Structure formats: structure tokens, C-alpha cells
Structure 1
Amino acid sequence: MLALILAGGQGSRLNMGEKPLVTICGRPMIEYVVEAFTLAGCETVVVASQQTPYTRNWCRAHGISLYSAGARGYVADIVEAVTELGEEGPIITSVSDIPCVTPDLVTRVQEAYQESGTPALSTWVPAAHCTGSALRASYQEYIDGVAACPAGVNVLLGARIEEEQKESRLLIDDPALGLNVNTRADLARAARRLCPEAAGASDRFGRES
């Protein structure tokens, strides 16, 4: 399945430069996300923009497929990328600031989509696990009787990318998918999860010890 990793925003809330390249345990945040989708068997493409020139350079330097979108908004950039890439099959999309996502979680989303029978699938996390984006945490719906917020990972059918698509909703009860990095406190949480063995991980934000 084609995976689009959206990395075209300014990341102004974190205020540490281009957010996809902010390091956690010595690695750029986006590297964790790209790796998770790649190891789950996806053909991964990073969707960047003129707002993230260093992210584009990083992708080129590391041989990661890249599409440069017009930075007209999250949904608009997805539509543009899918249209220009000519992809008509299912596409999994993801934000680039969920560094704790794992290949197993990505595989779970893909399998749920294949079983759903709907053109689209959205992924949700119990609201109790949602940290980082206040906007995301404030947007809640009840999924399977649980207050939940969007996880930032979805599946869409490329052939219908400009249409509203009927979707299934998948609730994943995993704190790793709920950690959306938007503040330095979120970076500390991510570091504690990704490199708990490193002394001072919650303070380093990726600097070598």
C-alpha cells in the first residue's frame, strides 16, 4: 500500500525549526515515522512543501521518495499528491509528528482496512491517550462507546480522492499512537518511550550523551 507522510507544515507551535527534523534520541522525528511505514511493507512517499526545504533536502539525501506539494493545507496536499502520482488504489496517510508509531500499528491499520469493505478508514485513539495537539484532543467522538480523538493515520481510495468517502472507524487503544509531538514536553515523553535506557533522555531531545 502507498503511504503518504505529510510533512509540509511550518510546525510553528513547537518553534524549533522544521518539526519533521527535530531530533529525538539522535534521530529526526520523521525518520521514525518513515521507518514504521516502510517496515510495514508500504511504499512510502514524504509529502513536503516550500515551507519545509530542509526536510526535502533530508529526504533526497536519504533516498526517500518525495513529493513537493503546494502547502495549501493538509487535505489539499493529500489530494494534490494522490492526483499527481496517479494512484487509484488505497492510500494510507499519516502525520509526521507521531514518532512512536510502530510497524505493527501500521499493519493493524492496513489489515482493518482490507477487512472493512469501505473505501476509507479513519484511525482513532482513546482520548485518555491523546497528548500534544490541543486541537486534536479537543475534537472527540465516541467510537465503540469510547471517547476518542483522531490518530492522524487514515486510509483513502485514490480513485475517489476528490469525493467524500464512506469510512470505517478503527479504535486503537495504544498510547504510542496517541503521542502527537507539538511541545517540548511532548518531545520529552517521546524520548522516554523511544530511548528509555538513555540517561537524561527526557531532557536531551535527541542530543548525544
Structure 2
Amino acid sequence: MRALIMAGGSGSRLNSGEKPLALICGQPMIAYVIRAFQNAGCEPVVAGSSKTPMTANWCRANGIAFCRTDGRGYVDDMVQAVCSLDEDGALFVSVADIPCITAEIIKTIEDAYMANGKDALSTWVPAATITSCRESMPYREKIGGIEACPAGINIIRGDHAGDEQDEFRLLLSEPRLSLNINTQGDRERAEAFLWQNPPP
């Protein structure tokens, strides 16, 4: 399965240059996400915009497929990227700022998607697991009666990328998905976690 990694935002809150290339334990944040998808058997493709030219250069230097979007916003850029890939099957769509994700988590998400039979899947984490960085993930919904936040990793049908898709909401109590990097505080927490729990 392909994995479209969205890397076109400016990351102004992080204030450290292009967000996908922000260093976490000495490595670009996006490298962790790409490696996890590769280890899960997926084909990563990075989608960037004019706001992330160095990320495009980094992808080229590291042999990672890259597609350019117009930078009009996450959803518009995602639809544009999926259409440019001419993808008519299922594919992952992931943010680039979840460096603690692992191949095992990705496979769990993929298995859940294959089992539920719906066109799309969104992944959520309990809000209680991210109280230390509540300002970074303000959006909340109730999933199975539990207040939850989106984890930023989804599966959609490429041939219906611009349409509303019947969606299964997967709630995972997974600390690694709770470390979404939007601020310097988030970055410090992710570094502390990865020093103690390096990716497999």
C-alpha cells in the first residue's frame, strides 16, 4: 500500500525552519515516519509545497518519491497529491510530525482497515494520553464514549479522494501516536521518549 506523507506546512509554531526537517535525536522528523512506513512494507510518497523546498531536496537526495502541491491547505493538498499519483485503491495518508510511529502500529491500522470493510479509516488516541500537550491538539470528539484526538494517520480510497467516504474510527491507546510535534515542548517530549524507547 502507498503511504502519502503530508509535508507542505510551514510549522510556524515550532519555529525551527521547515517542520519535516526539524531534528529529533539528530534525525529529521520525517525520516522516522518514512522509515516506519517502509518497514511496514509500504511505499512512501512525500507531498510538499513551496513552503518546504528543502524537504523536497532532502527527499531527492534520499531517493524518496516527492510530489508538489499548491499549498492551499491540508485537505486540498491531499486531494491534489492523490490525484497526481493516479491512485485508485486504498492508501495511507499521514502527517509528517509523528516521529514515534512504528511499523507495528502501521500494520495494526492496516489490519483494522482490512477487517472493517469501509472505504476509509481514521486513527484516534484518547485525549487523556496527551494532556501534557493539550494546546497542540485542541480538536476533540467522542469515540466509543471516550474523548479522543485525531492521530494524523488515515486510510482512504484514492478514487474517491475528494468525496466524503464511509469511515471507520479506530481508537488506539498508543503513547507513540500521542506525540504529535507542533511546539518546542512537543519536540522535547518526543526526544525524551525516543532516547528511552528507540524505534525498532
| TM-score when normalising by structure 2 | 0.94
Give matches, 1:43-82, under 5 Å.
43-82=43-82
Q: Distance in 2 between matches of 1:163 and 1:185?
A: 36
Superimposed CA distance per residue, residues 2-49 of structure 1 (whole angstroms, 9 cap, x where no aligned partner) = 100000000001111001111111100000011111111111101011
Amino acid at match of 1:193: F
Q: Is this contact kept in 2: 1:132–1:182, CA < 8 A?
A: no
Partner residue, 1:134: 135
For the pair 1:169 / 2:169, whether they are aligned, the reply is yes
The alignment of Structure 1 onto Structure 2 pairs a total of residues equal to 197
**For the structure 1 residues 134 and 197, does the alpha-carbon distance in structure 2 shift closer, same or farther, using more than 3 Å as the test?**
closer
TM-score in terms of structure 1 length: 0.90
Question: Given the superposition, is the C-alpha separation of residues 110 and 16 from structure 1 closer, same or farther in structure 2, using an over 3 Å criterion?
Answer: same
SS of equivalent to 2:196: coil
Cα RMSD after superposing both structures: 1.5
1:195 counterpart SS class: helix
The amino acid that maps onto 1:53 is P
Task: Report the alpha carbon displacement of residue 142 of structure 1 after superposing the two structures with TM.
Answer: 1.4
Question: C-alpha displacement at 1:196, in angstroms?
Answer: 2.7
Q: 1:81 to 1:120 in 2, by over 3 A?
A: same
Q: Secondary structure at the match of 2:190?
A: helix
Letter in 2 for 1:40: A
5 Å-filtered alignment, 1:57-136, equals 57-130=57-130, 132=133, 134=135, 136=137
Instruction: Classify 1:4/1:133 alpha carbon distance in 2 versus 1 (closer, same or farther; 3 Å).
Output: farther
Residue aligning to 1:204? none
C-alpha distance after superposition, 1:36-94 (max 9, x if no partner): 11111111101011100000000000001111111111011110011111000001111
Contact 2:4 2:94 in 1 (8 A): yes
Percent same amino acid at aligned positions? 51
Structure 2 Cα separation of the partners of residues 87 and 158 of structure 1: 5
Question: How far did residue 179 of structure 1 move?
Answer: 0.8
Where do 5+ consecutive residues of structure 1 fail to align? 199-209
CA distance in 2, matches of 1:103, 1:176: 12
Asked if structure 2 preserves the Cα contact closer than 8 Å seen for 1:180 and 1:186, the reply is: yes
